[in-house]
Structure 1
Amino acid sequence: MVSVRATRLPFFVYGTLRTGEVNHDLFLRGRTRAEEPARLIDAVLYDGPGYPYVVEARGGVVRGEIVTALPEAYGELLAALDRLEEYVPGDPRNLYERVEREVIRDADGTAVRAWVYVAAPSVAARLRDRGELIESGDWSAG
């Protein structure tokens, strides 16, 4: 059995939750202990309707931030981010899936396990077929 503490991973954010973006202050202000530049390896970024999608793909790199929640705010933040991403565990209608992945801190190159919201399989297939790839892997760079 997995303990609750073991699942308290930081979050890797790459779109509207990044510092300076529209949802950062709405969801993260007062709930985080640290926010650090980081990158997700073997993933690419696609433009969406006002927000991006991560799609797993060998050789790609997505730029974002590792967000570490305050311990006392973790449960509330996890629930708020799941609602924002319209993620319900096991729901086939999800646009995103919350998955555990390794991300790399830019400051020191260390690997960290984090929650990442990636495009659900049906969305990822559609994006691969006809989506607009963000070549830089950095949604904030425009």
Structure 2
Amino acid sequence: MTTEAERLPFFVYGTLRPGEANYARTLRGRTAAEEPARIAGALLYEGPGYPYATAGPADAVVHGVLVHPRAADYDAVRALLDHLEGYTPGTPAGAGNLYERVATEAARADGRTVRAWVYLAAEPLAGRLRATGTPLAGGRWTGRAAPKSPG
């Protein structure tokens, strides 16, 4: 079981990826490494404005980047990301968070896996996405020009 205190890397799939607006605001200069990765068992939906990932069928895949914060910046990065994603640690699922930060297995380009935090859409939003949203083909978000919202 993963606890809040564990210093896992973060799997990002939207505006937190290198080159996107929220990366520049929250992660630039605070990472030790970044690498392409993917997670299975998740679906990626178009926003509006930014993407949302939800739990999905085992064969569904979301592509993104595994971000390893520098040790000295880890707590600050986690707090910044939690705030950006509308997540309050310790709150019960469905208690008003926009996203939930959950531990998952991320697969690196070489196939090795690593435990990582990922922000998934929280209920009831996740239910609405599953009912009426359109999953992004191939589990890839292509980016937008300077979005100002979470992702």
TM-score (norm 2): 0.86
Give the total of aligned pairs: 139
**In structure 2, distance between residues paired with 1:105 and 1:16:** 20
Identity %: 52
What's the counterpart of residue 53 of structure 1?
Answer: 52
**In structure 2, distance between residues paired with 1:134 and 1:3:** 31
Which has the larger strand fraction? 1
Per the TM alignment, residue 74 of structure 1 is displaced from its structure 2 partner at its CA by 0.2
**In structure 2, distance between residues paired with 1:135 and 1:73:** 34
Per the TM alignment, residue 21 of structure 1 is displaced from its structure 2 partner at its CA by 1.1
Per the TM alignment, residue 141 of structure 1 is displaced from its structure 2 partner at its CA by 6.7
**Quick check: 1:74 aligned with 2:74?**
yes
Give CA-to-partner distance per residue, 1:85-128, whole Å, 9 cap, x none. Answer: 0111316111100000001001x111000000001131111001
Cα RMSD, aligned residues only? 1.8
What's the counterpart of residue 15 of structure 1?
Answer: 14
What's the counterpart of residue 147 of structure 2?
Answer: none
What's the counterpart of residue 112 of structure 1?
Answer: 114
**Quick check: 1:64 aligned with 2:64?**
yes
| Unpaired runs of at least 5, structure 1 | none
**In structure 1, distance between residues paired with 2:123 and 2:40:** 18
Whose RCO is larger (CA < 8 A, sep 6+)?
A: 2
| Unpaired runs of at least 5, structure 2 | 145-151
**Quick check: 1:137 aligned with 2:128?**
no
What's the counterpart of residue 83 of structure 2?
Answer: 83
The change in CA–CA distance for 1:127 and 1:71 in structure 2 (over 3 A counts) is same
